[in-house]
Structure 1
């Protein structure tokens, strides 16, 4: 009986260990999917942007409070305007979706430097999907009342994993 219990314990440890390794590798392999669609909504381009590629772009950082957290938070990432310029996206309807299938449109006129930031660090640490990551679109809410509206809060999508551009 003790042998059987030891064997079960060993198997559980192996399964849990493998699961944790697979989960860690999945986080390391995160890619932001960027899809450009034509007028008939057929994909013209499908690009996978790695987290490393996002982090290689010029970084920006700010401190702000949010309606989802307590106290002042520090976010580091890339301005959404810089990410879109890097991807050569200058027009179209932009739909953003998350791992949890949340979907929101962000109008191009709201995408300016000093506006939405695609954050990859929160208080100096990378974000896991359990912590709203690995990418979270945040605004400098405390810097201007225009960033403290329901529509801006709705655009603050966490677990960002896909951008669709309709041209």
Structure 2
């Protein structure tokens, strides 16, 4: 009887201590999936993004204090690298939040998929690992609410549609 209770307690302890298989693994947490609607997905991890041309800018945001230096990949470069085509980018966050971004936003000097803020990796628990951020201070037009709405953090996937 005691042996049975000990076995039950041990199994319960292991179940509580073991993360659910449905939870995201640390390796998957830094993956960004990009695909054209109906096409094959391209998956980028942090190392793949860092291997692409780096884009940095300093800007203030409504979510942070002061001017912050953001580092990442220009959205235009990411789309070009994946050879993805479409007119609208549907960006999805880890929590299910989604926004639509016109492909025309993906221009040199435009938004980036940031993976660092002031030289530090974006924290997965906060706004990371990826955040589409616009250079708000570089052009008054970027201070419009529509661009704030498109600045999606905890980015997980981009799907291009027509």
Q: What's the TM-score bracket when you normalise by the shorter of the two chains? A: 0.7 to 0.9
Contact 2:87 2:102 in 1 (8 A): no
Counterpart selection for 1:114 from 109, 113, 118: 109
Report the 3-state secondary structure (helix = DSSP H, G, I; strand = E; otherwise coil) of the residue aligned with 1:131: coil
Contact 1:27 1:128 in 2 (8 A): no
Structure 1 residue 44, shift from structure 2 partner? 2.5
List structure 1 runs of 4+ shifted beyond 6 angstroms.
none
Structure 1 residue 126, shift from structure 2 partner? 0.6
Unaligned runs of 5+ in 1: 1-7, 38-42
Could you list the per-position Cα deviations for residues 49-72 of structure 1 after superposition, in whole angstroms to 9, with x for gaps in the alignment? Answer: 222111110001111110001111
Change (3 A) 1:28 1:44: closer
Q: Which has the higher helix share?
A: 1
1:103 equivalent to 2:98? Answer yes
Match in the other structure for 1:35: 35
Looking at structure 2, the residues matched to 62 and 26 of structure 1 have their Cα atoms a distance apart, in angstroms, of 31
Contact 2:35 2:84 in 1 (8 A): no
1:26 equivalent to 2:25? Answer yes
Report the 3-state secondary structure (helix = DSSP H, G, I; strand = E; otherwise coil) of the residue aligned with 1:45: coil
Could you list the per-position Cα deviations for residues 90-135 of structure 1 after superposition, in whole angstroms to 9, with x for gaps in the alignment? Answer: 4332110100111111111111011101100011111122220000
Report the 3-state secondary structure (helix = DSSP H, G, I; strand = E; otherwise coil) of the residue aligned with 1:106: strand
Alignment of 1:119-130 (within 5 A): 119-130=114-125
Match in the other structure for 1:79: 74
Query: RMSD in angstroms over aligned alpha carbons?
Result: 2.3
Normalising by structure 2, report the TM-score.
0.81
Report the 3-state secondary structure (helix = DSSP H, G, I; strand = E; otherwise coil) of the residue aligned with 1:129: coil
Unaligned runs of 5+ in 2: 1-9
Match in the other structure for 1:89: 84
Match in the other structure for 1:5: none
